[in-house]
Structure 1
Amino acid sequence: MGNTNKKWFYLAILSLIWGSSFILIKKGLVGLTDYQLGSARIVLTSIFLFSVGFKSLKQIQKRHWKWIAISGFISSFFPPFLFAMAQNEIDSAVASILNSIVPLNTVIVGTTLFGILSSRRQIVGVFIGLAGTILLILAGAEFNPNQNYWYSLLIIAATIGYSLNVNIIKKYLSDISALAVTTGNFLFIFFPALLVLYVTGFFETIFSSSEMQVAFIYVAILSLFGTAIAKVLFNKLVQIASPVFASSVTYIMPIVAVLWGVVDGESFSIWQLVAAAVILFGVYLGNKKKVNR
């Protein structure tokens, strides 16, 4: 399978996996706190990765380690906590829609920090996407007044971390395997996450609470598929495609997540759907290649 076919295959699989992650986070929060869910997700993912990817660490050279560490914290340590905290207050489908601004942030970060020039179309797409984001937050706050939409800012912060990460991988880590990058990431964040999990009292209560045990199963599924396997696939996608194409996985994720949300009883206003369409149009415009005539 050539790189062109591979990148579309990876994109489809990642969209399905990550689109389902938001409902798994929601189910996990039924029995776990946001800090327990975030740290347990990292710890479990680390165990999975170390068991299959530890030997790949020999590929990492001295010049890589700094970027491996930065990549690990901004893309794999902070986001699990930020999403869990946000989904305590807002619906899972809304969280997935907000996550779709990753490609827009990738354009902004690439231009401002990595010297990657943006076209006028991309700049327009960024502003359209930001306008859609604001509309989604305002519409959601009106339609669901019991939800605190200020927590949407946590998801936006996570998307900035993701955007930094794809540019770092493309510029500094493309010459080592995706498994080595991912395993190296979790080598740095495993012990901080384990400490957080211990401080939350997780180990003292998990064996006496059936609700926590069920939630933990959801987190285990999320960790294996939504983090461990998906991270390796995503890092591979970044290496064989452009950062913006890789971040375009967020095109399809909201569709999967919204369907899961509807199945789980979540509801949306017409203005939320309009806002979602505006965001996705902005993302599309920001990623559309200029046609040579």
Structure 2
Amino acid sequence: MTKDLQAESALKAWGFLMILALIWGSSFILIKRGLEIFSPGEVGAFRIVAAGMVLLPLSLPRLKQLNKRQVKNLITVGLVGSFIPAFLFAKAQTQLSSSLTGVFNAMTPLFVVIIGALFFNARITKRNALGLVIAFIGVVILLTVKEGTGFGSFTDINAYAFYVLLACACYGLNLNIIKYRFVELKPVAITAISLLMVLPAALVYLFTFTQFSFKLLHVEGALQAAGYISILGIVGTALALILFNVMVKVATPVFASSVTYLIPIVAIMWGLLDGEILLFGHYMGILAVIFGVWVGNRR
């Protein structure tokens, strides 16, 4: 490869990295906006509906090519990689700021390591273990920061943070399933078809068991809130995953994984612009989490 082509590939990689960091880092403020009108369940379900519908041209033509084993695995990927986390993040942000949600989300790579070791015979290195310990300390700090008195006890923990950590565990399981059980399918196909698999459940839940339709027609500001969730689903889920897969092709996996460290920065910037307050202890915890993820994710 010539120097010009190398420079062009590097420029593309950095461009994709910045775009993805902005898109995924902005997801948490979009969830917050959606929750101003809709319930967590409505936000989660409509997010999946928006993402699944926009990817129908990619998913439907590929259905006939699947065998039963692939269908079963794709349903699992749809559930743990998209459906369940969409509801968990929305539920968490009813009591957790968008800034801190974005920071906790950075734990995903470490959950990939943990779940890989527990269920897929992957090996945890000393570097992985050190990163896990540092990031865990950061999480404990974030969970126990208390306004006015510095740090509280474990009885002061905001339990809603565990919804985010559970979502990260789902992502960790999802990535291991994709790595070890999908050798023959391309990442874009996995994304599109897995969303199609959970789309019917999201549609049934949204229009049968919630007040989404009523709010959309009768509540002031509902259309705008639905617009935010649509952006979240279409851009933050569907388009972003396709862009990430393209970036992996023009950059190294290590470079691609660095988006993990930029997402919390974007989330924090949006939160501060929206009037969220972070205490000194929060910044200590944030730095520990990001540093721990960096240490544990190094090659």
d(CA) in 1 for partners of 2:131 and 2:102?
A: 19
218, 230, 240: which one aligns with 1:230:
240
CA contact (8 A) 1:82 1:155 kept: yes
67, 77, 102: which one aligns with 1:71:
77
Q: Which amino acid aligns with 1:232?
A: I
Give the TM-score taking structure 1 as reference length. 0.89
Q: Which residue of 1 aligns with 2:226?
A: 216
Q: Which residue of 1 aligns with 2:173?
A: 164
Q: Which residue of 2 aligns with 1:193?
A: 202
Q: Give percent identity, aligned residues only.
A: 37
Equivalent residues, number: 288
Q: Which residue of 2 aligns with 1:202?
A: 212
Give the TM-score taking structure 2 as reference length. 0.87
Q: Which amino acid aligns with 1:222?
A: L
150, 154, 161: which one aligns with 1:152:
161
Deviates more, 1:243-252 or 1:119-128: 243-252
d(CA) in 2 for partners of 1:194 and 1:124?
A: 43
SS in structure 2 at match of 1:176: coil
Q: Superposition pairs for residues 92-131 of structure 1, below 5 Å?
A: 92-131=98-137
Residues 25 and 15 from structure 1, CA distance in 2 versus in 1: closer, same or farther, beyond 3 angstroms? same
d(CA) in 2 for partners of 1:230 and 1:174?
A: 22
Q: Could you tell me which runs of 5 or more consecutive residues in structure 1 were left unpaired when the two chains were aligned.
A: none
Please report how far the alpha carbon of residue 177 of structure 1 lies from its aligned counterpart in structure 2 after TM superposition: 2.2
CA contact (8 A) 1:124 1:282 kept: yes
RMSD value, Cα = 2.7
Q: Could you tell me which runs of 5 or more consecutive residues in structure 2 were left unpaired when the two chains were aligned.
A: none
Residues 239 and 107 from structure 1, CA distance in 2 versus in 1: closer, same or farther, beyond 3 angstroms? farther
CA contact (8 A) 2:151 2:281 kept: no
Q: Superposition pairs for residues 52-67 of structure 1, below 5 Å?
A: 52-67=58-73
- Whether 2:269 is the aligned partner of 1:259: answer yes
d(CA) in 2 for partners of 1:237 and 1:271?
A: 35
Deviates more, 1:65-74 or 1:153-162: 65-74
Please report how far the alpha carbon of residue 194 of structure 1 lies from its aligned counterpart in structure 2 after TM superposition: 1.1
Displaced runs of 4 or more, over 3 A: 4-12, 56-63, 140-145, 233-248
Q: Which amino acid aligns with 1:69?
A: I
Q: Which amino acid aligns with 2:101?
A: A
Q: Which residue of 1 aligns with 2:190?
A: 181
